[in-house]
Structure 1
Amino acid sequence: MTHAPTFLIADDHPMFRSAVAHALGSEFDGASVREAASRSALEKMLEDGTEFDLMLLDLTMPGAIGFSSLLWLRSEYPDLPVLVISSNDRPRTVRRAQQFGAAGFVSKAAPVETLGKAVRHVMQGELWFEATSAERSERDAELMSRLAQLTPQQFRVLMLIAEGLLNKQIADRLGLAENTVKIHVTAVLSKLNCRSRTQAAVLVKTLDIDEEDDLE
């Protein structure tokens, strides 16, 4: 890479973002780093047209449920490599991150040197899943297939359904007409083969990070 890289850090902890930004600045001369503290801020930053070389994503941010942001990124920005950085480094979490399309995974407990190595590997088009055996889950593959059918707006509606919001509340949150939201909800339920909003919400919850992921 001949140009100075541009990074996007998505994490809701300011001190951690600052630490990662400092590490990236030390590793890459002239690097540009932008930050997002929530799912909505992440969307707005990507929509402004800036081209990023790498995204560093925390799985637990306001507006996100587990792997939902990762799946959304892989669907909407398939050419943007995503390096997941999480405090939950259990084997199943790492395996799911890889299966859901991440280019790498780094534990928040890892030393700065490991982060630097991971970033360089991913930016060279390689994967970085240190000492992890990735076992494919057919259940997760089927979940990815169902969610991939949704448009970006339908995905946003689904996430708000999962939060328990009613159509009027979703309309207010997204700046849409209530009838438009109703149409989106109907489409979401149909595409996901869900009979009710509750069933759709339960489906989204399966994207959450399982605290007992070593039991699978």
Structure 2
Amino acid sequence: MSLRILIADDHPLMRSALRQAVTLALPEVDLLEAARYEQIGPALEAADGADLVVLDLHMPGMSGFIGLMELRSEHPGIPVLVVSASEDHTTIRRAIDCGASGFVPKSAPNSAIAEALHAVLDGEIWMPPVEEREAAGAAPLHRAASLTPKELRVLAGIAAGKLNKQIAYEMDVTEKTVKAHVTTILRKLGCHSRTQAAVIASQLALTPPPPE
């Protein structure tokens, strides 16, 4: 039975390059694609799952690392290999801390992508060599990992500076429900205020990728 891999990247040229790299490494692979974060869930459901998701951290709708954590929470059985134009040590470490099984810089050669694909599919963790140091903000990341998908959506709204009524409208729930989620988020994160939660949420946000 052939492997099924979903490539999630908003740039058509990058998706094409990733398709080529994946098919070179895994000739019998069945490929799915998504151009926005919101398309990943429906694509996986329509295909009855996948063996791996190759994910661009900066694609529209991601909300930084929160999107990665939400994806891992909603599809815990599907490993995620992150590809990103950001290659700094902190981004790599945070991606792994947030549930990614591997991290490949977009500048990596096809041989590195192939090595990462095989390692992650074998249940291993793969990332480029980095300095052995603990990523800044590791404790908040570990606490945020306990949040449910809906709580992560609320936290993403907090990170964006949205009011509870705005978050409620976007999630199609009542403002009371959002307030309940905020209370739970504060408890799980060990915060005493929404402002403290916003600070932690900001630590989960990505800086823009460098210009291409």
Q: What range is the shorter-chain TM-score in?
A: 0.7 to 0.9
- State the alpha-carbon separation in 2 of the partners of residues 99 and 185 from structure 1: 23
RMSD: 2.4
- State the alpha-carbon separation in 2 of the partners of residues 165 and 203 from structure 1: 15
Task: Please give the secondary structure, in 1, of the residue aligned with 2:87.
Answer: coil
Q: 1:134: Cα distance to partner?
A: 4.2
Which shows bigger deviation, 70-79 or 58-67? 70-79
Give yes or no for contact 1:65–1:208 (8 Å, CA) kept in 2.
yes
Instruction: Tell me the residue number matched to 1:4.
Output: 2
Q: 2:142 aligns with which of 137, 141, 145?
A: 145
Instruction: Tell me the residue number matched to 1:32.
Output: 30
- State the alpha-carbon separation in 1 of the partners of residues 129 and 145 from structure 2: 29
List gaps (5 residues or longer) in structure 2: none
- State the alpha-carbon separation in 2 of the partners of residues 178 and 92 from structure 1: 35
Aligned-partner residue type, residue 163 of structure 1: A
Q: 1:113 aligns with which of 108, 111, 116?
A: 111
Task: Please give the secondary structure, in 2, of the residue aligned with 1:57.
Answer: strand
Give yes or no for contact 2:168–2:178 (8 Å, CA) kept in 1.
yes
Describe the superposition over 1:187-209 as per-residue Cα deviations: whole angstroms up to 9, x where unpaired.
Answer: 22232233333322221110134
Give yes or no for contact 1:65–1:204 (8 Å, CA) kept in 2.
no
Q: 1:165: Cα distance to partner?
A: 1.8
Instruction: Tell me the residue number matched to 1:101.
Output: 99
- State the alpha-carbon separation in 2 of the partners of residues 128 and 183 from structure 1: 38
Q: 1:88: Cα distance to partner?
A: 0.9
- The TM-score normalised by the length of structure 2 is 0.84
Give yes or no for contact 1:4–1:29 (8 Å, CA) kept in 2.
no
- State the alpha-carbon separation in 1 of the partners of residues 123 and 152 from structure 2: 28
Question: Does 2:172 align with 1:175?
Answer: yes
Instruction: Tell me the residue number matched to 1:19.
Output: 17
Q: 1:6: Cα distance to partner?
A: 0.7
In 2 relative to 1, CA 186–131 (structure 1 residues): closer, same or farther, beyond 3 Å? Answer: closer
- State the alpha-carbon separation in 2 of the partners of residues 37 and 5 from structure 1: 21
Task: Please give the secondary structure, in 2, of the residue aligned with 1:35.
Answer: strand
Give yes or no for contact 1:65–1:205 (8 Å, CA) kept in 2.
no
Give yes or no for contact 1:8–1:35 (8 Å, CA) kept in 2.
yes
Which shows bigger deviation, 119-128 or 45-54? 45-54
Q: 1:138: Cα distance to partner?
A: 7.5
Task: Please give the secondary structure, in 2, of the residue aligned with 1:84.
Answer: strand
- State the alpha-carbon separation in 1 of the partners of residues 146 and 194 from structure 2: 17
Instruction: Tell me the residue number matched to 1:68.
Output: 66
- State the alpha-carbon separation in 2 of the partners of residues 97 and 61 from structure 1: 14
Number of residue pairs aligned between Structure 1 and Structure 2: 208
